């Protein structure tokens, strides 16, 4: 069922504290943790505690939760001291865009120059 935890989802297991992660922030609706394969000095994933396969599905079903994720991305940037120097927020939606875990999540990247267009 949409929004319900999925037994085979890595991020649902992180939310449930069944899989360890370096959690940097947690709210009633979100969890933020360090990426295990960082692409920048700051590389934190912000995920909803509810399960939706991607950002588009989450936005359609629970727009307040996607707003919570965006708000938390700013908090992560502030705590990692990249808010003033610049940071990027990325939602990869679908395997063609690089999504590998099909639980909606936002990447917060910063701490180095980020080129445009992205690769």
Per-residue pLDDT of the chain (119 residues; tens, 9 = 90+): 678 989 999 999 999 999 999 999 999 999 999 999 999 999 999 999 999 999 999 999 999 999 999 999 999 999 999 999 999 999 999 999 999 999 999 999 999 999 998 86
Q: What is the pLDDT of residue 1?
A: 63
pTM for the structure as a whole: 0.95
Ranges assigned E (strand) in 10-86: 23-26, 30-34, 42-48
Torsion sign, CA atoms 50, 52, 55, 59: negative
Residues designated as active site? 105
- Report which DSSP code applies to 45: E
For the chain, the domains span 10-110
Count CA atoms closer than 13 A to 48's CA, side-chain side: 28
Q: What is the pLDDT of residue 42?
A: 98
Class of domain 10-110: alpha beta
């Amino acid at each position: 069922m949409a929004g319900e935890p999925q037994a085979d989802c890595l991020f649902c297991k992180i939310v449930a504290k069944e899989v360890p992660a370096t959690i940097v922030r947690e709210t009633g609706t979100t969890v933020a943790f360090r990426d295990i394969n960082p692409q920048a000095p700051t590389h934190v994933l912000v995920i909803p505690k509810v399960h939706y396969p991607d950002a588009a599905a989450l936005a359609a079903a629970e727009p307040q939760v996607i707003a919570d994720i965006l708000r938390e991305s700013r908090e992560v940037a502030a705590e990692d001291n990249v808010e003033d120097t610049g940071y990027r927020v990325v939602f990869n939606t679908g395997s063609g865009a690089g999504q590998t875990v099909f639980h909606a999540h936002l990447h917060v990247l910063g701490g180095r120059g980020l080129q445009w267009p992205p690769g």
